[in-house]
Structure 1
Amino acid sequence: MNSDVALAPEADEADEAETRAPDPQDGADTSRRRWPRVLGALLTVALIATGGALYAEGRQLRDTPATANLALTDAEATTRVTGDVSSALGKIFSYGPGTTATTQKAAKEVLAGKALQQYATLFGQVERQSADQKLTLTTEVARAGVTRLTDDSAHLLVFLDQVYERRGRTPTTAAAQLTVTAELRDGRWWIVEIGFT
């Protein structure tokens, strides 16, 4: 009986030791419970970083020079400058032997700055030829495209169809290409520079 009594405390100690010993299954359960939290935190950080990068990229796209070009976004303003410039070019590059004074007057109403100086130089020669050769020139804008447009300036590429008529000869048709810079002044588009290409 004594042996039974002596054995009982040892058995209790063994049970306690067994209870205190770490169970490998318990560690695996704990790490399994922590893993979704860690994964969730990593995904949250990744989503925030991605969102920040996309926001920065979007800001860059909105702030590019292309988005500042109203020719790409404002059809009404683009149509207006194209119409004003086309009309002006038709007037200043159409003349006849008795209409050069009218053409010069029209030029002063649609040209300014460098374009007016360029035109004055060019038209001096034209005026003499028109009188000597009885030359008539009729110009129409075949196509005009606005390459850059802001609130007060525009750059255009313009294609002209021109018909030359000399008294007693068959009319000759020619094509011309111009680059034009225009500025909005007092509610009207003025041509300020003409590039002959």
Structure 2
Amino acid sequence: MIALAALTVVLVLAGCGLLYRAQELRSAPAAENRALTDSEATTRVADDIADDLARVFSYTPDGLDATERSARTVLTGRAARQYTQLLARIRADVAKQRVTLSTQAVRTGVIRLDGDDARLLVFLDQVSRRGKAAGTSAAAQLTVTAHRENGQWRIVDIISR
């Protein structure tokens, strides 16, 4: 009889431990990261951010104002301030040296997707030309933080790696 009572207590404790562990697994950060579970939403944010980065980091001497207007629709917060500072530094050189920059996202990975917030790692290829000279290629790696407002992803922060 004592053995049966001891076995019952052990089984109840083991069951409680397993239930606790199962709850831990369900509430783990990885389980909450939709980038790992929602491929459609992950693809959508990756494509939108890749297109936005290509648009705001591509310009021509005569199209810099249009690029800046476009940037206002996709950048906000710290990213918008960073971009404004960047344009202030390069504006005169772009016009004087007739610099054209073409940017393309070659690989975009979503690190974390949680509701309306996303964090991405983006690899860019950029080609810079001065006048009619041959282009110079460069690669860039960015960590991007984005937030969805009214159904549109907006870039909140950009960190160059």
TM-score range normalised by the length of the shorter chain: over 0.9
CA distance in 2, matches of 1:168, 1:107: 26
Q: What is the identity, as a one-letter code, of the residue corresponding to 1:141?
A: A
Q: What is the identity, as a one-letter code, of the residue corresponding to 1:195?
A: I
| Matched residue, 1:194 | 158
CA distance in 2, matches of 1:81, 1:168: 36
Unaligned runs of 5+ in 1: 1-36
CA distance in 1, matches of 2:16, 2:72: 55
Q: 1:133: Cα distance to partner?
A: 1.2
Higher helix share: 1
TM-score normalized with structure 2 length: 0.94
Q: What is the identity, as a one-letter code, of the residue corresponding to 1:69?
A: N
| Matched residue, 2:97 | 133
2:131 is the alignment partner of 1:167? yes
Runs of 4+ in 1 over 6 A off after TM superposition: none
TM-score normalized with structure 1 length: 0.77
Encode CA deviations 1:104-157: one digit per residue, 9 max, x unaligned.
111011111111111011012222221111111100001111111111111111
2:75 is the alignment partner of 1:107? no
CA RMSD of aligned residues (A): 1.3
Q: Counterparts of 1:1-197 in structure 2 under 5 Å?
A: 37-197=1-161
CA distance in 1, matches of 2:90, 2:32: 40
Q: 1:169: Cα distance to partner?
A: 2.1
Asked which structure has the greater RCO (Cα within 8 Å, sep 6+), the reply is 2
CA distance in 2, matches of 1:152, 1:123: 28
**Between Structure 1 and Structure 2, whose CA radius of gyration is higher?**
1
Q: 1:64: Cα distance to partner?
A: 1.5
Q: How many aligned positions are there?
A: 161
